[in-house]
């Protein structure tokens, strides 16, 4: 079993690997609102669905999922923004796992905004 000191050393040693992916300016950036309101509305399942669908599509290195706090309109949670490099940021509202799968397939893979779920 590793000690906390061992784990801290691993974190420092590997940080450049993870930072390179999360700092990739060419990656599609999916931001899930994970404030208390988002979590209560189902944001955890939405975030996991995005990650799973991105894995399924083989886009591990081309799309990242990050979290934010409350996005400001709690009644529209779970909220998600998708930023494709060179395109305008798109905000999706009242998301769920099935909607996340569709956004990955249509917006992230085929670059077509799913207007059914936008604000």
For binding to other proteins (CB under 8 A), which residues are involved?
A: 1-2, 4, 7-8, 10-11, 14-15, 17-19, 21-22, 32, 34-37, 39-40, 44-45, 47-48, 51, 55, 60, 65-72, 74
Q: How far is the first Cα of the chain from the last one, in angstroms, to the nearest whole number?
A: 48
Specify the residue, 50 or 117, whose C-beta has the smaller distance to other proteins. 50
109 φ/ψ angles, rounded to the nearest 5 degrees:
-80, -45
| Cα separation, 62 vs 41, whole angstroms | 28
Specify the residue, 97 or 113, whose C-beta has the smaller distance to other proteins. 97
Specify the residue, 28 or 34, whose C-beta has the smaller distance to other proteins. 34
Evaluate whether 49 touches 32 at the Cβ level (below 8 Å).
no
Evaluate whether 24 touches 58 at the Cβ level (below 8 Å).
no
CB of 51 to other proteins, least distance (A): 5
| Cα separation, 48 vs 37, whole angstroms | 17
Specify the residue, 74 or 113, whose C-beta has the smaller distance to other proteins. 74
CB of 54 to other proteins, least distance (A): 9
């Amino acid at each position: 079993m590793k000690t906390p000191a061992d784990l801290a050393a691993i974190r420092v040693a590997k940080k450049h690997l993870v930072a390179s992916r999360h700092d990739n300016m060419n990656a599609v950036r999916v931001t899930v609102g994970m404030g208390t309101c988002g979590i209560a509305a189902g944001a955890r399942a939405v975030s996991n669905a995005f990650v799973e669908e991105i894995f399924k599509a083989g886009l591990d290195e081309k799309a990242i999922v990050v979290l934010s706090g409350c996005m400001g309109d709690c009644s529209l949670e779970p909220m998600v923004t998708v930023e494709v490099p060179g395109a305008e940021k798109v905000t999706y509202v009242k998301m769920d796992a099935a909607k996340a799968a569709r956004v990955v397939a249509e917006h992230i893979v085929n670059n077509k905004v799913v207007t059914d779920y936008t604000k």
